[in-house]
Every structure is written in structure tokens, then in C-alpha cells.
Structure 1
Amino acid sequence: MLPPILQNLRIPVVASPMFIVSGPDLVIAQCKSGIVGSFPALNAREKDGEPPLLDAWLTRIAEELDRHNQANPDRPAAPFAVNQIVHRSNARLERDIEICHRHKVPIWITSLGARVEVNEAAHDCGGIALHDVINNTFARKAIEKGADGLIAVAAGAGGHAGPQSPFALVQEIRDWFEGPLLLSGAIATGRAILAAQVMGADLAYIGSPFIATNEANADAGYKQMIVESGAMDIVTSSLFTGVSGNYLAPSIRNAGMDPANLAEADASSMNFGSGSSKAKAWSQIWGAGQGIGAVRGIEPATDRIDRLAEEYRAAKEAVSRR
């Protein structure tokens, strides 16, 4: 049984938080369209001496969604989520936890380490905590430390993707865990959303297709590269952050490197003090998952979600007929 906050979504989708790309514009559009929108807390970066931008972002999101709900009581917005990078190099973590607790953020997504105090803060303000994992060992640790649900990040996902097949990863987790389970990894169509549920996940976790939307805070060239690329254009490498991730090969070539001959980097090089573990030299190396072949153009997030909803409905009807 899903917790109430994850029930009654228009379609069973949580939009994944993407570094730089996810901000208030995209989150608000996603939530108004009936799916959970999310952003990394570290995306909200103010200049020295300015008040915390995260505070302003959360205020704006809450106010705009509240106005939408009052004007549309028959189709209220979905809840939103904030992603906390709990890696030891994130010097902002304690401050950002306090801000999210004060704003009563409804869904907390944690990455790169399971921390009891983050889960406790989420629960204390009435929220739930979801932790992303790439294998069954990390999944067990996350639940032991108080996470309410899991995000299985399987092969083909954008960003710091795991190496395991979604079939294997979901199967192993479902052997012992009956709570909320999300699946990430090349999900870009309504049919793929339904497939994730058939495998045993409750919800799909979708990121890369939303890079090519009007509301995404992404370079125009990045958006167009998503449209023009497919699964064969995705390269897995640890060079850029110290942890294995999936990137667009054309962006690597544009930076003067050969995607087929990249050096490896050690996880000790990860440092989120500047908001990302990616060095400034790699700022034009763009991440994406293997599902981008389904993205045909740049469009409003609402249109993309409408299409996902229609594809999901059609896929369920097709399966019923069979």
C-alpha cells in the first residue's frame, strides 16, 4: 500500500531531480499536470550575502500550487519533492534540512548515503523519505536507517546510474520489501511506466525526457541534443564525477574527447561543495538516460505529461485485450 501522499496521482510517475535542470518552473508544471515534481536542494544557489534561495523557491512552489488547487478543486496538483545529497562533502546539508523541515516539504529524496537524521527530519514535519539505491545491499541499509521507500536506479538511467538490470534489481528488493518502490532507468513512455509496475515497482521515476521541455533550466543545445540522440549515443563513465554515470557522447566529442576512450576516476574525487561533484571543466558534458530515443521535440512539460498519460492508458487497454 502506497502512503496517501503518493496515491491519486494522474499517472504513477515521480519526476526525478536533475542537477541544474530542475527548478521551480519545471516542478510547478509537473505538479500541476498531476505527477510529483522534484528538484535538488543544491540547485538553489544564492550569491554570498544573499538570503537562502532554497527558502524562496519553496515559498514560490507552495504558493503557486496552493493557488492552482483553489482554482481547480477537481484536479489538484500533485505533491512536490526535494532531493538532498547527503554525501559528506555537502556542507549545506544541515542548513537545507532545516529549511525543508520549516517548509514542511512533503516528499524528501535522499542520494549518495543513507542518513538517519534526514529521515527523522522528514518524518518530524509530516513528510516521507525515499532513498535512491543501485543494489540490494544499499536498499537494505536505507530501510534500516528509516527510509520509507526506495528508488531503484537501474541500468540505463541518467546521472549516477546503477549497473544492474531493472528486472534483477526490482526482483531482489521485492523479495523482502513491500513498501513504496520506484524504478528509474530508460523510462520515457507510458508503456514503460506500465512495464515498471508489472515488474513490481509502484511508480516510475522519469528524468531525461523532461530536459527537452520549455520549463527545464537547460542550455538550448542540451535540449536539442536530447531530441537528436538515442540509446546508442549514451556513454557510461566515471571520469566526470568519480562515480559511474551516463552521458551524451556528442557532448563529450564537443569537449574534444573520444567517448570510446575515457579515463576512469575514483569516487574519492566526489565533492559537492559547489553543488555538484562535476568539475567546472566538465560543465558542458551533459547527462542523459538511454530512454531519450522516445523524445521527438522540445515542448511544454504539460504536453509531455499528457502524452505519457495517454500512452499509459492505451498500454493498459492493450494488455487487457491480450
Structure 2
Amino acid sequence: MLKARSLPKALQGLRLPAVAAPLFIVSCPKLVIAQCKAGIVGSFPALNARDEPGGPVVLEAWLKEITEALDRHNQENPDRPAAPFAVNQIVHRSNERLERDVEICTRWKVPVWITSMGARVEVNEAAHSCGGIALHDVINNTYAKKAVEKGADGLIAVAAGAGGHGGPQSPFALVREIREWFDGPLLLGGAISTGEALLAARVLGADLGYVGSPFVATEEANADRTYKDMMVAGGAEDVLTSSLFTGHPANYLKGSIRKVGLDPDHLPDEWDVSVMPDDSPKPKAWREIWGAGQGIGAIKSVGPAAAVVERLETEYRAAIERLRADIC
């Protein structure tokens, strides 16, 4: 079996070398708790915790729910403790909640911080101040170097085939370029939907895989049943890359595009009301136009998140044995 590099404590002792990617809208406390109990790092975007006007701070409530549930699990299962959880922060200047959310996550001592859309020194320092680690997602080697310069502990290489705003580069090229200078924690995302893909990520030089799409089709996910069923029925050919919906290239389910009355094979270069059904408003990315990675062909049914982890482990162990037999 591949020998792991020396990793931060939060990434050690996992059932599998895997982190569940934070899925916009889809990831919620119920899913995160299930992922962590199953033995991999569960995560959610802080912006998924949406406040109602005049209501309580939902992020605070979510962190309380997750922390207390995992504490109870660990007390009841000392020989099978849960994995730690992660919170994803969009650190772009447009995120008006960032300062407040960082303060809340610091106070709750979030163990793993995932940052996106621009590395920020002060966010990494906040993670470190409460004993956490900061992982920054990148799509190329230039961004990777900037993230480490600004204090990120580890990197998430988001390669071609990833759901949502995936990068355009092959994982073979991206991981190799980063590993030429960086020996810290490195995760790889992009169609990591099977145990074989997870092992391949490690062979390339990543320490862990970043698994997203398979967790959409789970009982715990905050996703429309039609979305889940499309993930089960789909394959790589059912995933389309387009910049139409957010202004940045992202991978979406063709079926969700058809569902709002558009033809995924003949999308305009920019919005034109003449191609919109009944002159309706622009459909919303993620809420109506659903993200998916190219690895969805591995998703065969909707079930509990624990079953996804169990499948990944079975495939991962079997792949190791096949590789060992072939090499030896």
C-alpha cells in the first residue's frame, strides 16, 4: 500500500484518504454528519447556511449541530471516532458575510478550513488561531504558489472533470507541476467517484481525493429528487461545460438545462431573451441548473452517504490488491 506523507492531524486516521467536497446548496449538517461518521472529512460551504431576515444566525446553529452530533458519536464509539469536518469559505471580496463567518468558525474551532476564490492571509491566520488547517482550492500552478505564499497549509487541485467550477487542466499535468515544488498536503478533485480513481489520485502524488458528485445522490443531501435521479441515470456524456450561467466555465447536467426549456447542444454565447422560454428570467445556476462532475457514471442508486463511503472503500482496497498482483 502507498505510504502516506506526514499529514496534519486533522487529515490522519481517516477510513479512506478522502475529503467530501463542499457542494453549494446540497451540503447540509445531516450530510456532513453522515460523511464524518462514515470516516471521511465532511464539508459544507458557509454560504449554504442562509439566514432569514430577523432570524437566528444559521451558521452558528449548523456548527453547534455538527459539533454536538460528532461529539456524541465519539463518546459512544471510542474505537470508531468520526472524522473531522470542514467549512468552505468563499474569500472573494464580494462575500459580505466573510468577516462574520470567519469569526463564528474561529469561535467554534472548525478543524479544517477550505478556502476558494482568492487566497487571504487573514483567513488562514484565523484558521491557525483556533488550531485548524487551511486548504485552498486551485485550478493551476500559479494559483497554487500564491495560496502557499499567503499561508495555506495545503492545496486542493481541482482538475478537469470536476463538478461545478472545475479547472480545465488534466490531473496528470496539474499534480505533477505542483509536486515539483510543494510537499505539503495535496488533494485532487475531478471525477473522483470510484475507489480506483481515489487510488489513481494517490499514485499521481495527491494525498487525498476530493469527492463531490456521488454525495448528491444520497438520502442526506439537500437536493431535489429529480436532481438525484439524473445523477443516477447519467454518465460523462450528460455533463456539459458552459460559462453561460455564471460567467465562468462550469460543469452542469444537460438534463437540468433541458428542464428549464433550453437546448444544451445549442446554447447561446450570452443571454438573449429570444431563446428564453416565454421570456422567463435567467435560470439560476446551482438551484435550477445543476452541477455534476464527469464521474457520475459510477453512481448507480440513491442511498445513504455511508453506503457511498463503503463502496469507495471496497473499490479502493480491491484496486490496491489488483495493482499489487500486477506489479509483483
Q: Does 1:212 align with 2:217?
A: yes
Structure 1 gaps, min length 5: 267-277
| Distance 1:281-1:149 versus aligned 2 partners, 3 A rule | closer
**Aligned pair 1:181/2:181, yes or no?**
no
- Taking structure 1 as reference, are residues 279 and 145 closer, same or farther at Cα in structure 2, changes over 3 Å only? farther
Q: 1:282 to 1:154 in 2, by over 3 A?
A: closer
Runs of 5+ unmatched residues, structure 2: 1-5, 272-281
CA shift, 1:283, in A, is 3.0
Offset, 1:263:
3.4
Cα separation, 2, equivalents of 1:249 and 1:302: 28
> Map of 1:273-288 to 2, 5 A cutoff?
280=284, 283-288=287-292
Q: 1:281: Cα distance to partner?
A: 7.5
Q: How has the CA–CA distance of structure 1 residues 182 and 220 changed in structure 2, closer, same or farther, with 3 Å as cutoff?
A: same
Quick one: which amino acid aligns to residue 10 of structure 1? Answer: R
User: For the residues of structure 2 that align with 1:108 and 1:282, how far apart are their CA atoms?
Assistant: 22
Measured after TM superposition, the shift of residue 260 of structure 1 is 2.1
User: How far apart are the structure 2 equivalents of 1:143 and 1:284?
Assistant: 35
Aligned to 2:12: 7
- Report if the CA contact (8 A) 1:156-1:289 is conserved: yes
What letter is aligned with 1:300?
P
Other structure's SS at 2:295 match: helix
Between the two proteins, what is the percent identity of the paired residues?
Answer: 71
2:102 to 89, 97, 101: 97
Pick one of 314, 317, 320 that aligns with 1:313. 317
Q: Secondary structure at the match of 1:74?
A: coil
Q: Contact 1:122–1:129 (CA<8 Å) still a contact in 2?
A: yes
Tell me the C-alpha RMSD between the 2 structures: 1.3
Among 215, 236, 239, the residue aligned to 2:241? 236
Task: Within 5 Å, give how 1:1-322 maps onto structure 2.
Answer: 1-264=6-269, 280=284, 283-322=287-326
Q: What amino acid sits opposite 1:163 in the alignment?
A: P
For residue 264 of structure 1, report the CA deviation from its aligned partner.
4.1
Residues 128, 265 of structure 1: alpha-carbon distance in 2 compared, 3 angstrom cutoff:
farther
Q: Distance in 2 between matches of 1:70 and 1:158?
A: 36
Does the 8 Å contact 1:17/1:83 carry over to 2? yes
Query: Is the 1:242–1:265 contact (alpha carbons within 8 Å) kept by the matching residues of 2?
Result: no
Structure 2 contact 239–253 (Cα < 8 Å) conserved: yes
Work out the CA distance in 1 between the residues paired with 2:130 and 2:36: 20
Question: How far is 1:265 from its partner?
Answer: 5.9
Tell me how many residue pairs correspond in the alignment: 311
Q: Larger Cα Rg: Structure 1 or Structure 2?
A: 2
What is the deviation of 1:63?
0.4
Q: 1:27-82 deviations in whole A, cap 9, x for unaligned?
A: 00000000000000000011011121000000010000000000101110000000
Structure 1 226/282 Cα, relative in aligned 2: closer, same or farther at 3 Å? Answer: closer
Distance 1:25 1:48 in 2: 23
Q: Cα distance, 1:279 vs. partner?
A: 6.2
Which stretch shifts more, 132-141 or 307-316? 307-316
